[in-house]
Amino acid sequence: MATRADTDVESRRAAERTRYAGELEKVTGRRGLLDRTVRTAVRLATLVVGWRVVVDGLGDIPRDAAGRVVPCVVAAAPHRGWPDPFLVLLAWPRDAPRLAWFGDEVTMTRSWWRRRLLPRLGMIPIPARPSASAVHEHLDAARGVLSRGCCLVVFVEKGPPSPRGRTRAIAPGAAWLAGAGGVPIVPVALGGFLETGLGTRFRVRFLPPIAPPGGIDGPTSGPRASRNAPSPREGRVTTAALAAALAEPVAELEAWTFATNGRRPLPGLDAPLTAQGMVRTVRAAFPRLNQWLNSLPDPRVQQMCLYTAAHLWGHIIATFMALLELIKNRIVRAVQVEQFGAIRLMKAVTDEITPTSGDLFA
């Protein structure tokens, strides 16, 4: 039986969803100042750490007779780590429509500035509690951004981990969204996520588009015409075609990743000892860091494992602290920098983290 507090929380969330949806309805495919500013900031950050993003297949992105990129569902795989959305953003053509994204509803509506900022960036909230009505609102929002000229990014994998060089199972969501919006699917293969350090190279490959279930314009008659939703069979056929399109490029880019970013660093600094010292230093300097990090994005329940917010942010913090250490060493001891990989320090730090404890530096 629901308590009054539960009812108040649900009422507040419903009001937040309504306000957020109102802001999201103002988003169109035209890129504004905020969108360009975010892209510029991401590009500058990659320049600071020396990351390079090589883009292939821009000619395969579908365009209309006037040469404009048409709305589409951007189906990206594999999803190996947190840099992946930024890689897609950097690779996306400057003259193309704005990209829209999915995100966690609770995180995106937690504070007033998130409710003001994130819908303007085209972020569509994923329902915290997937009831029938909440899912319907969520999918309507996705159809809405597509109808207003945006391109929707979906990381299409699901299920348990797969061997490197192969994608996980491909979820049918991209096919459903493409069919419901009457837009093509653009498969995108990602490569390079192996050792994330100074000078890491990434590749983003756009592949030939796939027609949505029901054809490029979707069904025009029958019981599904009003919602433009594909049948289960159509969705399975399109999902299989998407999986087949991604298989070979993902395997090829995985081989490129090992050849490009897979250098084994020579023995240098003691990574576990350095990690322990860094953890102790951070714990002494910021005793409330764990609490601060867990007040950021909520823990995510995935099919693979349960991550706390502190664990997720710990990976990012450890990566960039290691990069800063490398920058300092490059100035002071250039020779030793060549003997030390940032990923070794990051892994050693994250070995100190228990994923499900919610206790990062403790």
Residue-by-residue DSSP string for 323-355: HHHHHHHHHH-HHHHTT--HHHHHHHHHHT-BT
Summary mean pLDDT of the chain: 76
| C-alpha–C-alpha distance, residues 297 and 293, integer Å | 8
Would you list the domain boundaries of the chain?
A: 20-261, 271-351
Which whole number is the average pLDDT over 119-125? Answer: 86
Q: Judge: domain 20-261, CATH 3.40.1130.
A: yes
Number of CB atoms found within 10 A of residue 249's CB: 21
Strand partners, 152: 73, 100
Cβ within 8 Å of residue 4, ≥6 positions away: none
Q: How far is CA 179 from the centre of its chain?
A: 22
- Model confidence at 62: pLDDT above 70: yes
Strand 73-77 relative to strand 185-191: parallel, antiparallel, unpaired? parallel
In terms of pTM, does the model score above 0.85?
no
pLDDT in the model for residue 80:
82
Of residues 348 and 155, more confidence is placed in 155
- High-pLDDT (> 70) share of the chain, %: 67
pLDDT in the model for residue 90:
94
328 by Cβ neighbours in 10 Å (0-12 / 13-18 / 19+) ranks as exposed
296-355: pLDDT as tens digits: 655 444 444 445 566 666 667 776 766 666 665 555 554 444 444 455 555 555 555 444
234-283: pLDDT as tens digits: 888 999 999 999 999 999 999 998 888 876 554 455 666 666 776 777 77
Of residues 275 and 85, more confidence is placed in 85
pLDDT in the model for residue 61:
96
